[in-house]
């Protein structure tokens, strides 16, 4: 293949660092593209871990300081996969340096940071993208197609939740490398920014803007040992968050996320009910889309379980044969393929930083409503 | 069988009149009881329909006027299965006449009426019961047992919804015999009193009192022809209703009901997440209970689909053999069996009018919050 | 209702005696019919049990001797619900006495008896019916309609099984009142006549005659205590039975039944694969029919789960409202409703004794093939 | 990583060539291993396609002639992913040249060839492996663990099928590059060698040797245009194949495979019923294992749906986090990881050519029985 190199500088080598690296390495094996990512450098603070990660994934170099990475002339893309509180500064610097900027979700720790990041990339006019990967699950993309084709008609209800159970043990500390998601300083919020953000991004994509919300949050375990101080400290993130929503299109929404739903590992689901049909999906069986078509003959109506693995399903012609599943990691590969095509064509990729800002406005209104006890507008 | 007669006077011969009549006629075939219901009289306003119903179900007589029925000395039980707005007056008169009073849910059209009814039966000291039949689905009763046995530990989340799609057509009128549920005058509210009331009754039974709520309601079709006037009139009932709740035990709740969820006929579901386990149930497959037990060996944990049809499951020893389903109507038979046992033993039956009042307080708070935009306390 | 009495004499008061009695008592509550069954007499050998059963179900009289029952002039219908080895003699005598004859499945203990029974009812020209109740599950009846409408096109595969696990304990004796199904003398065979007979009846109804089979059977527990002798004796019934089949229409079939499939109580399933669609059903969720329609738009094809509870589904307009399940016992009520209509109209009911004979020919060929190790023709 | 190179020469660049290549390229990203596959050469007949494939996947060279490939000193491993009829000759030559030999399933076109291949690798004492990839689905490997731990007790039933619908169109030709599976000359048989071989390999692995079988096969479309001749010719492969089996352990088996089951793309399922538990799995949701444990408390027994995505599940600690699925391609990566470990440790890998020969003996007996109409022994 005579494709051109696109030189990647990755910040962060945790769970998301792996997912992004895998996407870079695999995308050209399955998609014919004009660009090919080259793993130029990975950046992080723990030198031993960093070296091991770089060697395992084949990065050409490592960088201990992200400011050095951002200045390197042999880097085209800065990909931010470090904890939330680092996003704004790195993204702004990278944009100023003229780099393409990719950022793991949520866009930022809070709305102020998020707005600053949008300003930075738009001022610098650099391509930018946020890794809301679930848009590229083939079944979710198919849902988007069906809605855009008008198959559901007017939408009445949007219902979504993201349920986990991995933080239920009292012995789990807050903070530290693996558990920064429990540390309000690093994460900004708990499940609101982590899990609900996914729910909101997909909802806005499928169903348009959220107008206003009424919300509640809860922290079930009030104190945990903090990794930094070694002391038991109050927990400042939300273990659970739920809200009712009004969309601009008149649709009612219910949203819920928690890490205290015993028996669910990563049960992200949504359901959309329209005048002429409904759709439902869940991440635990991500290769299936449930579709109810009211235009079917009356006595034969039922929810269809579509096994989204055929060549005429989104992205699937690039993989195996009908009936054979792909998995979680493929969503990142799809997003990378779309990104590389957007670079080649000069067409903006979605979700951009500005798209992700809309989600930040909703999560911000959710947290505000949880404090005020009132409906809050998302703008 | 040497069981004693309990003479029934039924008010109303619609959908619920049939369900109750069926329970009266079948209960002694399957349960050994000291009492046997005798279908003494059915009461309603349309004489032709009433006569046909009485003949079909074998009622000994018919009554056009419920005040006459209530005065009859040969009646032990007044069973109210007429529209909501008639409940309070009939129940109060029946209680004053010293009758046992059974009432279809919701208890009343509004909280004032409901409180008056509780007062009436308690002042008269007559046995009383509300037909919240879903407590007697064997799978739901089993869920109650497991929670009471402490198998879930501390409860964090309660999640419930009741989704239908039968009023989505614009051509459907409001009011009239079959459609009084769309008429605010007769029904009091829309899905809040009709469907959410079921969700709330079960929730309180399984998880204790609801402390406060924030809610929203919606009427998607704003005008419908009214059967009485023949005119197009504003629709004053809610097509959809959703709320977030705080239970007394610290649990978060999400509740939703609608008649605009295309593809769902009567999808009543609940899920309870506790520290050591979770439960889930849905009315569309009412014979199954989903159970996740965190105490299972780690690598073998999974949601168990319990086919609640064995002899050691609630009520099931009275029916067929393991694996063979019962259905919707059996919930009324179970409730009648429990009721007849309570009469024999002198033990109060649940849910009583007072139990049902707790649900009315929640639906009342829901409707209030939907208007105020604020959290409202349920007391 | 001005319907005419049809006077029933029931032989046997076990599990099937209850199911039939329930059908007799309930059918007129839900179906408008010209005839009404009257429970005239029940017949059995244990006087105490018989009296209790008669009183519980409201039979007007009891009979200890079936020959007396058959001679009674006040009986129109002899319904045989006693063990298999009694069917032939009772049916023949009842037919000779000019009675309508109903018989629980399987028709007889062996092919010779079965043929004799067909001869008896046809010679006497009396209405006759076998209780293969699963034809009247609404979802199964709907499957029949879809096949008859040609929606599946040419049929390639028929796949069915009936899995139970209730005889796996070694401590279970053979024979006696509750366990005659384990006694070859009374039952004729094990799962072949008990469970496979259901599979075969449905298969022939949906897919036409079975031409030939190759089979195997197994008795996993070789000896059990016999209730009669009190001694440990060889078990002569089959615990499991499986066969491959060729249908007259060129379709391939696979059939399997067992009482040694741990985890399945009564998992009777079938699946039919045709050129343009497929159908699947299972008794553990009997209110659902799975339908795959190849004529759906390519990217939206999927198995539809049809919740067969709507007014336009077979039999369902007689019951509740959409979404509310009926259960096992309703299949007998449906068959009784159809039977009473056939008596009123003079149209023969199916399955008749002759229809059931076709199933006997297949079970007979299955047992023969299991012995011979060769393909055997079913004729 | 300081791992050693293992130089791969791949024969064939079709569907399986891609799956194997992907495994080679990804295995070291996710598994810490002493060896690293190096894509030295890919071999095939169509030069253009070959070059494109080689470039896409990063092979260092291409070879038009497999005999040249086998002689190359810079190749350690010959991996055969070409049509069935080529396996024997290539494998024998590779073994004689001292190469490690990997072979896509089925081992060979017929039993004679298969035996010759086993002889060749064993005579040459070269490591050898057949790509029966489904053993390495984590849920299937977990099933194996549970059976080996004795959790099911004595096994009574094994039930398996592989259903597809991709050859149902009459317009599909036989033979040619993409459709050699329809050409008896290249494939040896139809679904028997293609799909049933998978079912049999897993069955033997989980449940031990198959003793004897009675089988039937069918070719529904009797003639298709042949790609080579351009003429309509008789189809000589089986479209469907089914058999009953007796295992050495006394278990009964039912096996079925077809390409004429409308609505199923690749529905490979198995179920095992033992004295104390049962297991079930299906390829359309390959990340789930269904487990019924009879030792659970009686009233709480049910089939557990285990989402096999936790760190303590086979292979899963190498991937993402609990709840996130992997897919089809990962089975090849797992097999490659196990293979590289076996090379490092000197321990033989399974399934070896000899293991695969056992499957060939069963498929051979199946085809023989389908012709003879009798039970045939598999030895």
Partners of residue D301 in chain B, C-beta under 8 Å? 304, 306
Helix/strand/coil for C369:
helix
Nearest residue to A353 via CA among A82, A111, A157: A111
What percent of chain A has pLDDT above 90?
Answer: 93
* Pick among C149, C304, C313 to test the A interface (most A CBs inside 10 A): C304
Partners of residue C278 in chain D, C-beta under 8 Å? 261-264
Mean pLDDT, residues D10-35: 97
* D289, D304, D312 member nearest B303 (Cβ): D304
Nearest residue to A102 via CA among A123, A76, A140, A67: A76
Partners of residue B328 in chain C, C-beta under 8 Å? 320, 324-326
Strands (E), C238-379: 240-247, 252-258, 267-274, 277-282, 288-293, 303-307, 376-377
Task: Show Cβ contacts of residue B225 under 8 Å, excluding neighbours closer than 6 positions.
Answer: B173, B174, B231, B232, B233
H helices present in chain D, as ranges = 15-30, 47-57, 66-71, 87-96, 111-124, 138-148, 184-187, 191, 197-207, 330-345, 353-372
Mean pLDDT, residues D93-122: 97
**Rounded to whole angstroms, what are the CA distances from A153 to A249, A279, A302?**
12, 12, 18
Give the pTM.
0.97
Give tens-digit pLDDT for B335-367. Answer: 999 999 999 999 999 999 999 999 999 999 999
Q: Answer whether A142 touches C (CB < 8 Å).
A: yes
Binned at pLDDT 50, 70 and 90, residue D3 comes out as: confident
* D300, D307, D312 member nearest B302 (Cβ): D307
Instruction: Check C254 against D242: CB less than 8 A apart.
Output: yes
- Indicate if the pLDDT at residue C1 is higher than 60: no
Partners of residue B146 in chain D, C-beta under 8 Å? 300
Q: How far is D57 from chain A (nearest CA, A)?
A: 6
Q: Which chains touch D (3 or more CB pairs under 8 A)?
A: A, B, C
Tell me the average pLDDT of chain B. 96
Give tens-digit pLDDT for D162-205. Answer: 999 999 999 999 887 778 888 888 998 999 999 999 999 999 99
Number of neighbours of residue C73 by Cβ within 10 angstroms: 7
User: Which residues are bridge partners to C267 per DSSP?
Assistant: C163
Task: Name which residue leads in pLDDT, D181 or B303.
Answer: B303
Q: What is the phi/psi pair of residue D106, to 5°?
A: -70, 160
Burial class of residue B234 (count of CB atoms within 10 Å of its CB; 0-12, 13-18, 19+): exposed
Binned at pLDDT 50, 70 and 90, residue A327 comes out as: very high
Q: Answer whether C154 touches B (CB < 8 Å).
A: no
pLDDT for B179 equals 86
Q: How many residues does chain A have?
A: 379
Task: Show Cβ contacts of residue A40 under 8 Å, excluding neighbours closer than 6 positions.
Answer: A7, A8, A9, A59, A60, A61, A72, A74, A75
Q: How many residues does chain C have?
A: 379
Contact residues, C window 30-89, toward B, CB-based 8 Å cutoff: 55-57
Binned at pLDDT 50, 70 and 90, residue C108 comes out as: very high
Distance CA D34, CA B349 (A): 71
Helix/strand/coil for C238:
coil
Instruction: Check D291 against B302: CB less than 8 A apart.
Output: yes
Partners of residue A243 in chain B, C-beta under 8 Å? 244
- Indicate if the pLDDT at residue B1 is higher than 60: no
pLDDT for C179 equals 86
Q: Answer whether C192 touches B (CB < 8 Å).
A: no
pLDDT for D184 equals 87
Give tens-digit pLDDT for A216-262. Answer: 999 999 999 998 889 999 999 999 999 999 999 999 999 999 999 99
Give tens-digit pLDDT for D227-253. Answer: 888 999 999 999 999 999 999 999 999
* D284, D323, D327 member nearest A265 (Cβ): D323
Tell me the average pLDDT of chain C. 96
Location of structure tokens 């590289």: D340
Q: Which chains touch C (3 or more CB pairs under 8 A)?
A: A, B, D
Partners of residue D166 in chain A, C-beta under 8 Å? 321-322
- In chain D the domains, ranked by start, together with CATH numbers, are 4-133 (3.40.50.720), 135-377 (3.30.360.10)
Distance CA D86, CA C281 (A): 43
- Indicate if the pLDDT at residue A173 is higher than 60: yes
Q: Answer whether D368 touches C (CB < 8 Å).
A: no
* A243, A261, A373 member nearest B278 (Cβ): A261
Tell me the average pLDDT of chain D. 96
Q: How many residues does chain D have?
A: 379
Q: Answer whether D221 touches C (CB < 8 Å).
A: no
Q: How far is A134 from chain D (nearest CA, A)?
A: 12
- Indicate if the pLDDT at residue A1 is higher than 70: no
* Span of A51-65, A163-177, B60-74, C364-378 with lowest mean pLDDT: A163-177
* B157, B168, B301 member nearest A258 (Cβ): B157
Number of neighbours of residue A295 by Cβ within 10 angstroms: 9
Q: Answer whether B19 touches C (CB < 8 Å).
A: yes
- Indicate if the pLDDT at residue D145 is higher than 60: yes
Comparing alpha-carbon positions, the chain B residue that sits nearest to D309 is: B299
pLDDT for B2 equals 67
* Pick among A142, A292, A304, A310 to test the C interface (most C CBs inside 10 A): A304
pLDDT for B227 equals 86
Instruction: Check B323 against C286: CB less than 8 A apart.
Output: no
Comparing alpha-carbon positions, the chain D residue that sits nearest to C239 is: D156
Q: Answer whether A320 touches D (CB < 8 Å).
A: yes
Give tens-digit pLDDT for A351-371. Answer: 999 999 999 999 999 999 999
Instruction: Check B244 against A276: CB less than 8 A apart.
Output: no
pLDDT for C59 equals 98
Contact B233, B174 (CB under 8 A): yes
Q: How many residues does chain B have?
A: 379
Q: Answer whether D303 touches A (CB < 8 Å).
A: no
Tell me the pairing of strands D210-218 and A35-43: unpaired
Q: Which chains touch A (3 or more CB pairs under 8 A)?
A: B, C, D
Instruction: Check A157 against B261: CB less than 8 A apart.
Output: yes
Q: What ipTM was predicted for this assembly?
A: 0.96
Q: Answer whether B311 touches C (CB < 8 Å).
A: no
Give tens-digit pLDDT for B87-98. Answer: 999 999 999 999
């Amino acid at each position: 293949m005579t494709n051109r190199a696109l030189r990647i500088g990755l910040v962060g080598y945790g769970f998301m660092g792996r997912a992004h690296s895998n996407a870079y390495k695999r995308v050209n094996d399955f998609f014919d593209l004009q660009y090919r990512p080259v793993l130029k450098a990975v950046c992080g603070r723990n030198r031993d871990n960093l070296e091991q990660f770089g060697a395992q994934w084949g990065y050409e170099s490592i960088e201990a300081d992200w400011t050095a990475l951002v200045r390197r002339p042999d880097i085209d893309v800065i990909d931010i996969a470090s904890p939330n509180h680092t996003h704004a500064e790195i993204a702004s610097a990278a944009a100023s340096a003229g780099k393409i900027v990719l950022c793991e979700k949520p866009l930022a720790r809070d709305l102020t940071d998020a707005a600053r990041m949008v300003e930075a990339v738009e001022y610098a006019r650099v391509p930018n993208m946020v890794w809301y990967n679930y848009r590229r699950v083939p079944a979710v993309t198919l849902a988007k197609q069906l809605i855009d084709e008008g198959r559901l008609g007017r939408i009445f209800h949007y219902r979504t939740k993201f349920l986990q159970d991995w933080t239920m043990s009292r012995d789990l500390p807050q903070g530290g490398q693996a558990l920064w998601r429990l540390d309000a300083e690093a994460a900004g919020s708990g499940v609101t920014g982590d899990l609900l953000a996914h729910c909101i991004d997909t909802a806005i994509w499928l169903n348009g803007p959220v107008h206003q919300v009424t919300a509640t949050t809860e922290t079930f375990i009030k104190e945990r040992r903090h990794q930094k101080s070694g002391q038991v400290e109050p927990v400042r993130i939300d273990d659970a968050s739920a809200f009712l929503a009004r969309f601009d299109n008149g649709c009612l929404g219910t949203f819920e996320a928690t890490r205290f739903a015993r028996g669910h590992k990563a049960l992200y689901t949504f359901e959309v009910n329209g005048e002429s049909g409904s759709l439902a999906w869940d991440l635990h069986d991500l290769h299936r889309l449930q579709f109810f078509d009211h235009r079917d003959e009356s006595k034969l109506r039922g929810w269809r379980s579509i096994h989204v693995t055929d060549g005429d399903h989104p992205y699937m012609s690039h993989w195996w044969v009908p009936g054979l599943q792909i998995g979680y990691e493929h969503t990142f590969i799809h997003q990378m393929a779309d990104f590389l095509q957007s670079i080649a064509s000069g067409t903006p990729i979605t979700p951009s930083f500005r798209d992700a800002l809309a989600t930040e406005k909703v999560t911000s209104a959710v947290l505000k409503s949880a404090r005020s006890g009132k409906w809050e507008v998302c703008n």
